Homo-oligomer: A and B are copies of this chain.
Amino acid sequence: MNAAVSGVAPGPSDPGPRARRYAFLGPEGTFTEAALLQVPGAADAECVPMNSVPAALAAVREETVDAAVVPLENSVEGGVSATLDDVSFGAELRILREILVPIRFVLVAPDGVRLQDVRTVSTHSHAWAQIRGWAEANLPGVTYVPAPSTAASAVAMLDGRGGVSTEGLGYDAGVCSPVVVQRHPELRVLAEDISDNEQAVTRFVLVARPDAPMPAPTGADKTSLVVPLWEDRPGALLDILEQFATRGVNLTRIESRPTKTHLGDYFFSVDIDGHIQDDRVADALMGVRRICPRTRFLGSYPRADRREVRVAKHHSDAAFIQARSWVDNLKGQ
């Protein structure tokens, strides 16, 4: 168990060395579980599947688990609204880690079913969006049946005693992660690698309570923010972006989401390069917070790709330290 993980949910009530408990968006066999397994120490931890993102995050807040792994964005489908909205509006949480999982899909059915027999397919709507092209080309006239998760569409075929059947399910085949097949080899794979986009990847985050120790800066970090632009003010977004630009802070992701009050009010979910312990990031955060006093900090954590952030000399910590010392000296006169 490495440092970052050993730091999850400690504090006065920490019962000492014990197995961690992690929630994840279940059931078993989802891509979210695959993401969780990348967290150091997860193999020895207790992993609790939850049936929704809000349920997984509620478990963190209620301290029934130490942390949760939930999807944040997908390279094809975009931001995961349930996660973005919950971490933005619910009680405060902290992102401790990001995890990238390549997305692969397989089409599974009971033994004996042939590809040409498949008339109806079930999976999660996001998965369907990612294989629709393949389905239209290879299963002409196929009907789509929504399922609550990718794994669910496959697991529902299992009778728990080694039998596989779609009887009464309303569909002929399911689309799920290859992980499900590894666990349930009795499922027959009708087609592999059926994603329309072979580069598809989903980004997950490990989320804990705000008192979890923040991961130390590594030189290759990200910081996540929620910036509500509640004023209907032209140029407000530009003002925010300039707070970053004047400190040389690069945006790596920006998503607008409705505030749910009325059409035209947005909040922005933003990832920036750098760690809050970097002076340019701390200074930019101060500027953003002044303009948007309800700005929320979601965490600073290492980039999954370990790509180092390049910083111009005049935005370096040294430049900030020298400039601050100059101003402080003058103010003291």
Contact = CB atoms under 8 A, between A and B. Distances in A.
A246 B330 CA distance: 22
A197 B243 CA distance: 33
A252 B213 CA distance: 39
Chain copies in complex? 4
Contacts of A23: none
22 contacts: A73-B258, A77-B81, A78-B257, A78-B258, A146-B147, A146-B148, A199-B261, A200-B260, A201-B262, A214-B333, A237-B254, A238-B241, A238-B245, A239-B246, A242-B242, A255-B256, A277-B331, A285-B323, A285-B327, A289-B327, A290-B314, A290-B320
Interface of A: 54, 73-79, 81-82, 100, 125, 129, 132, 144-148, 170, 197, 199-201, 203, 210-211, 213-214, 234-235, 237-239, 241-243, 245-247, 250-258, 260-264, 266, 276-277, 282-283, 285-287, 289-291, 293, 297, 314-315, 319-320, 322-324, 326-327, 330-331, 333
Given A197-B261, A263-B100, A246 B254 contact: no
Contacts of A256: 78-79, 253-256
| Residue with the highest number of chain B CB atoms closer than 10 Å, among A82, A144, A291, A322 | A291
A289 B241 contact: no
Nearest to A252: B264
Contacts of A324: 286
Contacts of A291: 314
Contact of A246 (B129, B243, B266): B243
A241 to B, nearest CB: 5
Contacts of A78: 81, 256-258
A276 B330 contact: yes
A145 B156 CA distance: 14
Contacts of A245: 235, 238, 242
A326 B285 CA distance: 9
Nearest to A54: B132
A18 B82 CA distance: 45
B203 A246 contact: no
Nearest to A203: B263
Contacts of A255: 255-256
Contacts of A331: 276-277, 282
Contacts of A252: 264
